[in-house]
Structure 1
Amino acid sequence: MDTHLQDIYDVVLRRNPGESEFHQAVLEVFESLAPVVRKHPEFAESKVLERLCEPERQIIFRVPWVNDAGEIEINRGFRVEFSSILGPYKGGLRFHPSVNLGIIKFLGFEQIFKNALTGMPIGGGKGGSDFDPKGRSDREIMAFCQSFMTELYRHIGEYTDVPAGDIGVGGREIGYLFGQYKRITNRYESGVLTGKGLGWGGSLVRKEATGYGTVFFADEMLRSRGDSFDGKRVVVSGSGNVAIYAVEKAQQLGARVVACSDSGGYIVDEAGIDLELLKELKEVHRERISTYVERRPSATYVADGSIWDVECDIALPCATQNELDEDAAVTLVKNGVRVVAEGANMPSTPSATRVFSDAEILFAPGKAANAGGVATSALEMQQNASRDSWTHEYTEERLAGIMRGIHERCAASADEYGAPGNYVVGANTSSFVQLAEAVLALGVI
């Protein structure tokens, strides 16, 4: 970084102590911006970066609820409304015991740039709670969601802030949250949440969108070099919503997906992942990935190992932040990986990203590759606003077009700022310029 950017980053560190994930997300963007700041001195003069690094609003609240044993439990809720410079705050809710303010801020900061890349009129935000839905009954999850929304409702709205799902928040949780919002406000405001059920305001392809979009982006990188997914060996980390539909689209494009994982370990199935079995285990029964091998003789299970030890042509990290470190990156490169596309938010550590860059691996950062989820959320908002419902084919076509557009923007911006083929630079510079121009246009607010 040049001196000006380093000075701003030092202030971010001082004002946000202990928030390592947020620091990492800011640094990752700043490392790309020196040529932009040189070309546009007006951005520095107007303190655009300083404004973008400070959330417009940070909300922290208590979430009391009663479990099945009749005991009172207390969790902490968060909503960081980071930037509305391009539109209403838009970003998911994460329910996981690791959630804290620093993680929500890193996710919200990433969301600003990701949402800008989509070309949709949406700002960036993120929220969640340290509540752990694993092992909870439906009644307990409903009780928690209702208590959470009893505070959150006053801060959101279809023209203000539109949450969606994330880790630990799927269709069930969105349903309970939306029901409580409707009950409190006495309004059927469909556009206040996305990821809704198809029968009550949801959109086709929304469930699949993040995983599909990641594969669409990776396919565009391959196509730009005269290649494709056909016949490629693919490894996908995770086995949640993003991972399942990344597996599905990769298989549809002719790839053989041989491994996926959860927090306990990973499976390898040389015959190719049985997608219907994976969906049944994870979406219907909510079981551990280890049970896959009980029904699939061709598969093996490795407990507590690294899925990145499995040889592959294409790696799709779709689990969580910082899951792919430098050692894993070195192993992937040694084993012949050619493409890495991030389905999760910031799953590769900075040192891992450098390994991929040095080895000239095609690498797609999450803010570009996994933007399909929030893009389709914006399409859901469009359908809600017009009281319309689109077909699966039309919606998937829109998603594919958006991902092509993001790829084109990233590639063009990387070329413009002297880093051809570097999608990290392309994503950061393209989105930052759009945000910075909007900040200047709207004045000091």
Structure 2
Amino acid sequence: MNSIDEKLQPILAEVVRRNAGEPEFHQAVHEVLESLGRVVAKHPHYLDHALIERICEPERQIIFRIPWVDDKGQVQINRGFRVQFNSALGPYKGGMRFHPSVNVGIIKFLGFEQTFKNALTGMPIGGGKGGSDFDPKGRSDAEIMRFCQSLMTELHRHLGEQTDVPAGDIGVGGREIGYMFGQYKRLNNRFEAGVFTGKALAYGGSRARTEATGYGNTYFVQAMLETKGTSFDGKKVVVSGSGNVAIYTIEKVQSYGGKIIACSDSSGYVVDENEIDLDLLKDIKNVRRERISEYARRRGQGAHFIAADKGSIWDVPCDVAMPSATQNELSGKDAATLIRNGVIAVGEGANMPSTPEAIKAFQDAGVMFAPGKAANAGGVATSALEMQQNASRDSWTFDQTEARLATIMRGIHDSCYQTAEEYGAPGNYVLGANVAGFVRVAEAMRMLGVI
């Protein structure tokens, strides 16, 4: 990892001290502070009034008990979180994650990243994140409904269209959003459509929201490839994951002429040299909710499944890698394998899926690297568009929304590219994204006084 400017080292040390046992949060802060040395050298006023320290400290952290009753009549207990990280640019905005790995450190890292990601969109939204250690896998619809209602019974008092606007994330899709919004509406006796995004079209959702993160990542990487005079056309592409982000990354990459040859889930990955059959993948994951191994069984000749303990999806040679599953899924060893096999570009569809060692390896090898806080901002950008439609009691067509998304993602790419050049690091999208996001948040906080 690159060294942190000596003026910023005490800030990181204090973050680590005050947030013990939260390695993902430490990692996220470290990555941003690495980029800020050039900023404080050029603009030392950002060191005044503990501005950076305040940006690294959440405005509010909410932790609460979620009791609910399963289908056997047994009482279950989970823990809920909402970290309202920064509201300098607008109401807190960020998803809810339901997964056994969720803890306060994970939510803080996500909320910290979300603050800069949301700033990059240019939309008036702050950063926040939430979730629970609840595991929706194997639970009935009735159990998930009871869990969501119990969660919202506590969380509703902290939300609002002008306060905090959640959305989905890992383990939280349209079903879960519906149950949470229904309970919110019931408890508040108000139909505040803009208090949740990722809603179904039937009650105020936005067209293209489901596709937005995957589409947006593809737009960003396509723009990045164009700076080198190339594109997705004819490229072999590997996409980790098989949830919404991965599926719609695959869909948009295929529309650009890219050939998707592998995807995965937590059980392992499939390789299909004839190209992933997207319709089959959607049926298996979105309709039948089966494991990825079923894809190889039904696809037949040319497709095979490799279990997670037998290898890594990043062993598959490709031109473009798009990690779209979860944090720290792509290690330094994986990066070395990809580089050895000729990868030319990496686009992060998930939040912080590449370890610091992997990022350094890509940058040292001259591989184009699109960090998640920029490349996967399409989801939250479209959520902000959903809020805009809700506020005006309007509903846009799919094409209208996608066109706005494409424009926003091109703007994010260009902002990162130009900022990297301005600060003497051409082609370094990590630095460009961190600095561009930081400057927008920092300027707002500076103008608002000591908050």
The TM-score with structure 1 as length reference comes to 0.99
Q: Match for 1:437 among 400, 424, 443? A: 443
1:30 maps to a residue whose letter is: L
| Partners of 1:403 and 1:24 in 2: CA distance | 25
Q: Match for 1:64 among 57, 64, 67? A: 67
The equivalent residue for 2:135 is: 132
TM superposition shift of 1:46: 2.1
TM superposition shift of 1:359: 0.2
The equivalent residue for 1:81 is: 84
> Percentage identity across aligned positions?
70
The equivalent residue for 1:397 is: 403
| Partners of 1:292 and 1:41 in 2: CA distance | 55
TM superposition shift of 1:175: 0.5
The equivalent residue for 2:103 is: 100
What do residues 227-250 of structure 1 show as CA deviations (whole Å, max 9, x unaligned)? 111111000000001000000000
Q: How does 1:364-379 map to 2 (within 5 A)?
A: 364-379=370-385
Count of aligned positions: 445
1:328 maps to a residue whose letter is: D
1:230 maps to a residue whose letter is: D
Secondary structure at the aligned position of 1:46 is classed as helix
| Partners of 2:24 and 2:152 in 1: CA distance | 26
1:222 maps to a residue whose letter is: L
Structure 1: gaps spanning 5 or more residues: none
Q: Match for 2:17 among 3, 14, 17? A: 14
| Partners of 2:177 and 2:443 in 1: CA distance | 34
| Partners of 2:450 and 2:403 in 1: CA distance | 39
1:347 maps to a residue whose letter is: P
What do residues 130-183 of structure 1 show as CA deviations (whole Å, max 9, x unaligned)? 000000000000010000011010000010000000000000000000110111
TM superposition shift of 1:260: 0.2
| Partners of 1:223 and 1:41 in 2: CA distance | 35
2:314 maps to a residue whose letter is: W
2:304 maps to a residue whose letter is: T
Alignment RMSD, CA only? 0.5
Secondary structure at the aligned position of 2:351 is classed as coil
| Partners of 1:431 and 1:408 in 2: CA distance | 13
TM superposition shift of 1:365: 0.3
The equivalent residue for 1:285 is: 288
The equivalent residue for 1:115 is: 118
The equivalent residue for 2:429 is: 423
TM superposition shift of 1:224: 1.6
Q: How does 1:264-303 map to 2 (within 5 A)?
A: 264-297=267-300, 298-303=302-307
| Partners of 1:349 and 1:246 in 2: CA distance | 21
Verify: 1:407 aligned to 2:413, yes or no. yes
Q: Match for 2:171 among 163, 168, 174? A: 168
What do residues 402-439 of structure 1 show as CA deviations (whole Å, max 9, x unaligned)? 00000010011000111000000100111111111111
What do residues 297-323 of structure 1 show as CA deviations (whole Å, max 9, x unaligned)? 121000012000001000000000000
Q: Match for 1:346 among 343, 346, 352? A: 352
| Partners of 2:203 and 2:441 in 1: CA distance | 34
TM superposition shift of 1:295: 1.0
Q: How does 1:317-332 map to 2 (within 5 A)?
A: 317-332=323-338
Verify: 1:51 aligned to 2:57, yes or no. no
1:300 maps to a residue whose letter is: H
| Partners of 2:338 and 2:216 in 1: CA distance | 23
The equivalent residue for 2:207 is: 204
Q: Match for 1:191 among 190, 194, 218? A: 194
| Partners of 2:318 and 2:89 in 1: CA distance | 39
The equivalent residue for 2:158 is: 155
The equivalent residue for 1:240 is: 243
| Partners of 1:205 and 1:295 in 2: CA distance | 29
| Partners of 1:246 and 1:27 in 2: CA distance | 28
| Partners of 1:416 and 1:48 in 2: CA distance | 22
Q: How does 1:297-312 map to 2 (within 5 A)?
A: 297=300, 298-304=302-308, 305-312=311-318
| Partners of 2:44 and 2:160 in 1: CA distance | 36
TM superposition shift of 1:42: 1.1
1:326 maps to a residue whose letter is: G
Secondary structure at the aligned position of 1:163 is classed as strand
1:348 maps to a residue whose letter is: S
TM superposition shift of 1:204: 0.4
| Partners of 1:218 and 1:90 in 2: CA distance | 24
TM superposition shift of 1:64: 0.2
Secondary structure at the aligned position of 1:58 is classed as strand
The equivalent residue for 1:143 is: 146
1:117 maps to a residue whose letter is: L
What do residues 57-114 of structure 1 show as CA deviations (whole Å, max 9, x unaligned)? 0000000000001000000000000000000000000000000000000000000000
| Partners of 2:162 and 2:129 in 1: CA distance | 16
| Partners of 2:369 and 2:6 in 1: CA distance | 28
1:159 maps to a residue whose letter is: Q
| Partners of 2:356 and 2:226 in 1: CA distance | 26
| Partners of 1:365 and 1:193 in 2: CA distance | 26
| Partners of 2:244 and 2:225 in 1: CA distance | 24
The equivalent residue for 1:361 is: 367
Structure 2: gaps spanning 5 or more residues: none
| Partners of 2:276 and 2:159 in 1: CA distance | 40
The TM-score with structure 2 as length reference comes to 0.98
2:426 maps to a residue whose letter is: P
What do residues 366-396 of structure 1 show as CA deviations (whole Å, max 9, x unaligned)? 0000000000000000000001010111110
| Partners of 1:318 and 1:247 in 2: CA distance | 10
